[in-house]
Amino acid sequence: MYDLAVELYPLPRSITGEGTRETLRRIRERLPGLVIHEVPSGTEVFDWEVPPEWNIRDAYVMNDAGEKVVDFREHTLHVVGYSVPVNREVSLEELQEHLYSIPEKPDAIPYVTSFYSPRWGFCMTHRERERLDEGTYRVVIDSTLEPGSLSYGELILPGEEETEVLLSTYVCHPQMANDQLSGPVVLTELARWLQEQPRRYTYRIVFIPETIGSITYLSRNLETMRQNTVAGYVVSCVGDERRYTFMESRLGDTLADRVTRHVMEYHTPGFTHYDFLYAGSDERQYCSPGVDLPVVSVLRTRYRDYPEYHTSLDDLSLISPVGLGGAYELYRELLRALEWNRVYRTTVPCEPRLGPRGLYPTIHHPSHRRGIKDMIHLIQYSDGDHDLVAVAERIGMPVSWCHEMATVLVEHGVLEPVAGGSPATPSDPASTVRR
């Protein structure tokens, strides 16, 4: 995962253009089933429109001594994203109107874009900006904004059921590590793992430009996704080692919310929890009224929560194999929990006899009591209404244990999965067991 991040780091990504397309091609080398779709500029997507395609070859600011004081080839963040082309001489005073820096972070190049109003600009460290002398500067941005297309990648992994799990990440930020490359590299590895697994659910895995990409994607797939999606995740900012973060869906009570809260309480205790008012990525589109998919976000340190966010300081030293690996493991736990989450019921009224089935120790010893008690609790809440995650929460055991125990109890004829087995949805108040 880390090596792929290193490889993708310098590509000049934006919401459209060759940098993003090349990023998708490199991901496709690891995921040969990935389909790269192109949506033409000008296509209406709900209340929006696919913008012209932006491509950039070179950009710099040169002083009158012929030195490049800002050079796109040294860092792609040096140019305001979607800058219109320019090639002329300006005074320092005029140049200043087109420069962006952060006085409080004098060594950081900020990430600045202007997708929907045509302008040009350069970003630089405040320290270098303060060193600019009076004089004449040549500003060159060799870019094009022309009819083209918006590119996104899609991989559908069919399962036993048509019901789907959505996994979405974005590929539109330039040279940054945690808030850009961590998401696609973790999702690529998760997709490679999922490909090898027996799958109950169908997995819809998308690599899109943020916001306009999810709007475009939803405009083409909304009906199917509304019908089939049981849970979804926006995979973003998953590369550092500082913390784990859970961001709820808009209403906070979907299957994705319940599963995530439960798994993280066991797997990453002490995680940071945000409600939807703090959402900032594609969950804003997936959860919006009229779309309302059960989508949450699981992150390491969330965008906006770390000082390097949206600057050149969010570099490859901020993410690590350990950070990426931790997120990858957590996501595997979440997806396993979703796959395990069935509704069970007992095969007989009243308590089934466990002794004759070999499930009850014939000698009573205090050390056996807890395990037996938990097994009996699991049986008591296997009522055909509550899914395994709701039962796990109620009896205070991890869903992984409940899954193993339910499998044993099914083998011994004590429990049976409810036909259809689809988990309770938020509209079904039975999904939560009252304590």
Q: Which is nearer to Zn ion, 147 or 307 (CB)?
A: 307
Q: Which is nearer to Zn ion, 179 or 282 (CB)?
A: 179
List binders of Zn ion among 157-186 (CB under 5 A): 179
Q: Which is nearer to Zn ion, 154 or 179 (CB)?
A: 179
* CA of residue 93 relative to chain centroid, distance: 42
Least distance to Zn ion, CB of residue 266, Å: 30
* CA of residue 304 relative to chain centroid, distance: 15
* Cβ atoms of 151 and 191 closer than 8 Å: no
Q: Residue 385 and residue 405: Cα distance in Å, rounded?
A: 18
Least distance to Zn ion, CB of residue 304, Å: 9
Angstrom distances, CA of residue 235 to CA of 162, 173, 277: 22, 14, 18
- Pattern of binders to Zn ion over 394-413, x per CB under 5 A? --------------------
* Cβ atoms of 423 and 343 closer than 8 Å: yes
Locate 190 and state its tokens.
């998760």
Contact between 248 and Zn ion per CB under 5 A: no
* Cβ atoms of 422 and 163 closer than 8 Å: yes
Q: Which is nearer to Zn ion, 179 or 283 (CB)?
A: 179
Locate 238 and state its tokens.
């998953």
Q: Which is nearer to Zn ion, 179 or 308 (CB)?
A: 179
Least distance to Zn ion, CB of residue 295, Å: 18
Strand order in the sheet with 86-91: 68-71, 53-62, 136-146, 86-91
* Cβ atoms of 119 and 100 closer than 8 Å: no
Contact between 393 and Zn ion per CB under 5 A: no
Least distance to Zn ion, CB of residue 12, Å: 16
Q: Which is nearer to Zn ion, 21 or 302 (CB)?
A: 302
Least distance to Zn ion, CB of residue 5, Å: 15
Least distance to Zn ion, CB of residue 179, Å: 4
Q: Residue 236 and residue 31: Cα distance in Å, rounded?
A: 19
Least distance to Zn ion, CB of residue 337, Å: 28
DSSP notation for 261-285:
HHHHHHHSTT-EEE-GGG--STHHH
Contact between 308 and Zn ion per CB under 5 A: no
Nearest residue to Zn ion by CB is 179
Q: Which residues bind Zn ion (CB under 5 A)?
A: 179
